[in-house]
Amino acid sequence: MDVETTANCTCLNLRKASRAVTQFYDEAFKPVGLRVTQFSLLALVANKGPAGMKELAKFLVMDRTTLTRNLKPLIDQGFLVVIKSDDRRQRPIAITSRGRNRLAQALPLWREAQNRVVANLGRETWVGLLQSLSATVSATTHE
C-alpha cells in the first residue's frame, strides 16, 4: 500500500466511504423522512439531555455554524427546541416529545441498517474500523 499515491489519500477514501455509507443509511431512513445526520442529532440530544451548541459541535467535530444549519430543519419540524439558560449567551438544545416519537420510529430502521453493515463487514472488521476511525479523529484534531 503506497502512502504517496494520491489514490490512497486518507481523506479521499474516508469521504468516499462516508458517501457510500450515508447513502445506505439515508435509504434505510426514508420511511420516517429523516436523514442519518438528523437521526444522529436527535439521538445525541436525546441522550446528552439539553446541551449547549458548542458542546454538541465539539463532540461531533463539526463547525459550530454547521450545527446551527443542521438544527434548523429539526427545529422547524418541532423535533428539537431551543430552551432558556441562566447564562443568556447559551441557547441549549432539547428534544421534544414529537422528537422522541420520531426517534422511536427511526430506531428500528437504524438497527436494521447498522446490523446489515456489521454483518456484511464482519464483526471483527467493524470493531477495527470503529477503532481506527476514533484514532483518526485523534490524529487529526488539535487540543
Please say which residue, 84 or 123, places its beta carbon nearer to DNA.
Answer: 84
From residue 72 to residue 91, the character string flagging contacts with DNA as x (rule: CB under 7 A) and all else as - is xx--------x---xxxxxx
3 state DSSP class of 96: coil
Site residues for a copy of itself per CB under 8 A? 1, 3-4, 6-25, 36-37, 39-40, 43-44, 47, 60-62, 107, 110-111, 114-115, 117-118, 120-121, 123, 125-130, 132-137, 139-141
Choose among a copy of itself, DNA, none what residue 143 binds, the Cβ cut-off being 5 to 8 Å by kind: none
Instruction: Report angle CA 126, 121, 14 to the nearest 5 degrees.
Output: 70
Q: How far is the CB of 4 from DNA (least distance, A)?
A: 22
3 state DSSP class of 123: helix
3 state DSSP class of 95: strand
Does residue 10 interact with DNA by CB under 7 A?
no
The set of residues, in sequence order, having a beta carbon less than 8 Å from that of 137 and lying 6+ positions away, is 61
- Residues 108 and 98: their CA atoms lie apart, in Å, by 17
From residue 31 to residue 70, the character string flagging contacts with DNA as x (rule: CB under 7 A) and all else as - is ----x-xx-------------xxxx-----xxxxxx-xxx
Q: How far is the CB of 93 from DNA (least distance, A)?
A: 8
